[in-house]
Amino acid sequence: MVSFKATSALALLASLAASAPTTRRYVYPPTSTSLNFKLVANVTDYAVLVQNTTVDSGRIFYVNGTAEEVRYNSADLLSDGGTPLFPWGVWINEPNAAGEQTVSVNAGIGQTGLGLTQFPDPISELRGLWYACNNTLEYGPAIQLLSKETGAPTPAGCADITLLPQCSVGSGMAQEFPNESECYEDVAGIDWTYYNTD
Ligand SMILES: *[C@@H]1O[C@H](CO)[C@@H](O)[C@H](O)[C@H]1NC(C)=O
Ligand SMILES: *[C@@H]1O[C@H](CO)[C@@H](O)[C@H](O)[C@H]1NC(C)=O
Ligand SMILES: *[C@@H]1O[C@H](CO)[C@@H](O)[C@H](O)[C@H]1NC(C)=O
Ligand SMILES: *[C@@H]1O[C@H](CO)[C@@H](O)[C@H](O)[C@H]1NC(C)=O
Ligand SMILES: CC(=O)N[C@H]1CO[C@H](CO)[C@@H](O)[C@@H]1O
């Protein structure tokens, strides 16, 4: 089991926004489509997480499933890894003793239903509620990704995030059920003072 780590698994990036828009315009950031994407953390309550060192930072993800599975949110979220490359799936773990739901990337299939929001949702993002904490894991400090239920508090010291797909080229592995996903060309470049999010 591999937890998401800012340095190797996810590019965790703060999208810096100056202030809230004063007038309500129904304008949403433009998306492209791509088979593959990276997940970029957009910090929604306060900006602490900035760990994007190179263009290659972060895992490459894709949605795997038939057209029907994608439509009815029963596809899974995969990322290729290993030598030779094979699929790894994203899983939300059962709550631990502290009530935290950590996220893992395990070799094999992923958790059914993890995927991106779809039309008519105007924002393409990983479905679910996510937050990130600077925790000390077995291998040292890491910005850990966690999931929570609606209404659950975000622990002190952690930040609420949304995970936005940034279009990416693939890992090179042939995909069995590739599906086009709506993704952003440059998440960090989105000016959230201009765009609506709801
Ligand atoms: C991204 O973060 C900015 C500022 O922190 C916020 O205004 C915006 O609503 C967020 N976007 C999404 C889709 O969560
Ligand atoms: C991450 O950093 C690289 C190099 O500094 C930059 O080119 C790229 O646009 C950044 N990615 C995001 C999502 O900000
Ligand atoms: C990809 O989706 C197909 C179709 O549902 C499924 O048969 C296959 O097991 C999935 N592969 C992985 C690695 O999840
Ligand atoms: C996370 O915490 C460790 C140990 O307290 C610290 O060294 C590190 O700079 C922190 N990382 C971030 C991104 O805040
Ligand atoms: C929405 C979409 O692109 N669906 C495709 C997902 O993958 C299956 C299998 O390749 C295609 O049949 C769908 O058209």
pLDDT single digits (tens) 132-157: 888 877 776 777 889 999 999 999 98
Residues 6 or more apart in contact with residue 45 via CB below 8 angstroms: 154, 159, 160
Q: What is the pTM of this model?
A: 0.78
Q: Is 15 in the pocket of ligand 1 (CB under 6 A)?
A: yes
DSSP string, 39-75: EEEEESS-----B--STT-S--EEEES-HHHHHTT--
Q: Which is higher by pLDDT, 13 or 196?
A: 196
Any atom of ligand 4 within 6 Å of the Cβ of 134: yes
Query: 36 CB under 6 A from ligand 1?
Result: no
Q: Which bound ligand lies closest to the C-alpha atom of 164?
A: 1
Residue of minimum CA distance from atom 11 in ligand 5: 67
CA distances from 15 to 52, 83, 85, 157, 190 (A): 11, 33, 31, 18, 8
Distance CA 133, CA 131 (A): 7
Ligand in closest contact with the CA of 86: 3
Q: How far apart are CA 77 and CA 53, in angstroms?
A: 24
123 Cβ below 6 A of ligand 1: yes
pLDDT band at residue 93, thresholds of 50, 70 and 90?
very high
Give the amino acid at 181: S
Ligand 3 atom at minimal distance to the Cα of residue 87: 13
Rounded distance from Cα 166 to ligand 3 centre (Å): 23
